[in-house]
Structure 1
Amino acid sequence: MSRAQTPPMGDRERTMSRAMVEAIAWEMERNEEVFVMGEDVADYGGIFDSTQGLLEQFGHDRIMDVPISETAFIGAAVGAAQQGMRPIAELMFTDFFGVCMDQIYNQMAKNTYMSGGAFNVPMVLMTAVGGTYNDAAQHSQTLYGTFAHLPGMKVVVPSTAYDAKGLMHSAIRDDDPVVYMFHKRLMGIGWMPAPAGPKTGVPEEDYTIPFGEADVKRTGEDATVVTLGLHVHRALEAAETLAGDGIDTEVVDLRTLVPLDTETVLESVRKTGRLVVVDEDYRSFGVTGEIVARVAEEALGDLEAVQRVAVPDVPIPYSRPLEDEVIPGVEDIEAAVRATQ
């Protein structure tokens, strides 16, 4: 089990967006086959600062703005990867996956298998997820579960700057396609303030975080909260309030969905006996159900209580009060943990 990772005190603090850019720049300097393509990734620097400053460093030949045709540029990235390059293709919003789903699922995810292993598809599909800023039903979904459900792709969801950099290094170096899903609210951009937690110490040198290793961001004895992305920070906030009432909550950050670190979850549940799974994806047929099912299969005798906290099966509303109602908040997590006691 990985414990909460505290970088050395001398490390520089970085926002999650800066940590991601540092990793991309380091890999581009190391390997000329790495390049970035997507909508507004060059001159604009990515609408969520995911590529800020890379154009000045590497030029338009390697940081490429593309037309608004997701099918075309994701397909181009797949082809480039199959020819030995290592593209990073940014799908501006994960909601747009429907436009180019054939390229993602029938090409990117399957071509290594379909070729009998004759070639790999070493590419990163980087995409923004999540709501909480009133951008309505077509720009606010999370959809972790959709990508994790489809075999052939690794799925990465960082929650801190430290994790974001290490996971990006791992993603670019991986020989399989990786879907790197970053939450807009965690990026640290000026017009969308992040909570305090995502900005962490980040080593200047390169480092990797292995896929399939969850991180226990807070240890506890009375309940296990399993979550990822933005809701790691909401769970940690809830845990502090619960501690005031004598409820000691453990918070497990999955960090990657594919591969999934089931063992860390099981170890925690065997200790606490109580499981709360929190997700910003839809409740039905998603991550919350998968985690509960795996625990039930392997540790049913240790499980005393279960709660799921997720988005109800409705489109994300534009209205701020309605959006706040459907996206799980700190109070929802607190209530779910109390219900297990």
Structure 2
Amino acid sequence: MLLEFPVSIKLLDYYKFQPTVIDEEYIHLRMPIGVPQGKTSGSESVEVLDLSALSTNTYRSQGKVFSPMLEKEYRIQCAECQSVLVDRVHFKRVLPLPRASWSEAASDWYCHLHVGEACHQKLVPRTTDCLYGSCYHALTASLLIKGSLESTGKESLCSKCQSSVGLMGDDLWNVWCHSIKWSVLEDNSQWKVAQDAATPLQAFYLTLHDALEEEKSFFGRKLAFRDGLGCGQTVLLWFVGDNGFTLDSGESIAGAEIQLRRSRLHKVLYKSENSVSKKIPSDVSEYQVSKEMMETALAVLRNSSNQLPLGCRAAAGFSVGFLSLAS
């Protein structure tokens, strides 16, 4: 069998094949390689995968959450039943929320209290403010149509269809981008969909992309995604290395020659734990997601893991899965 590598891969003269797994629809081998063309450093080995059974069509790569335009009038509806939650609102400020590690860097951009000083007043957004994170919008609760939502503790439900739409705080309503759709009022006084609801999987990838942007300077990135209600699951993800040398196969030629290409899939180690009983380690960055986002992300990881031979599905106490991060 002939494996044809991309031109960017330079195999070392002394390479030797390490243990190889081959079955009807799968090839898995690792071998030492040289530095890629045009690079000064790189991975010491390449991993070759033939994951023909693993479709990447359901994966969503990086992107940004919807950001409304200033002074335009908007309507926000439940994505499930289309009932109106916020009607005819215009924003004078649309601002990004700080990332999860903002408190560690806070000393760089604000002055601490001095001895004897009273506490800073709590910052409360205006009704004309729209704040947004990686996968949710934060709005003042006063914008909501009375009776449109029901609160069950921290979670807010659509009064009409009982679907979960976000988390309710004292002053702010954090609404998941997969739970609502935005409409904008046009010049002809007609409402037009400005942004349809994302899928929970797309929303997860928005958060994942934001997390990786924040942590990209670190090798061996460890991330934790916690159920926003704080009573469900926590998924730990461990990106080991840069995964820049994972290849998969194109179409086989005459059954004996296989062309390899750079894979869109990035190998991760993952573990699902109970949020209540487990404390997040100090070297792990934590991000809040919805229950729906958690479930769809786990489904993707488990599906990819199930495509691997039994001997390749676990490592270091974690399960092995794949996520697509390419544009």
Task: From the two aligned structures, give the one with the greater strand fraction.
Answer: 2
TM-score after normalising by structure 1: 0.28
Task: From the two aligned structures, give the one with the greater helix fraction.
Answer: 1
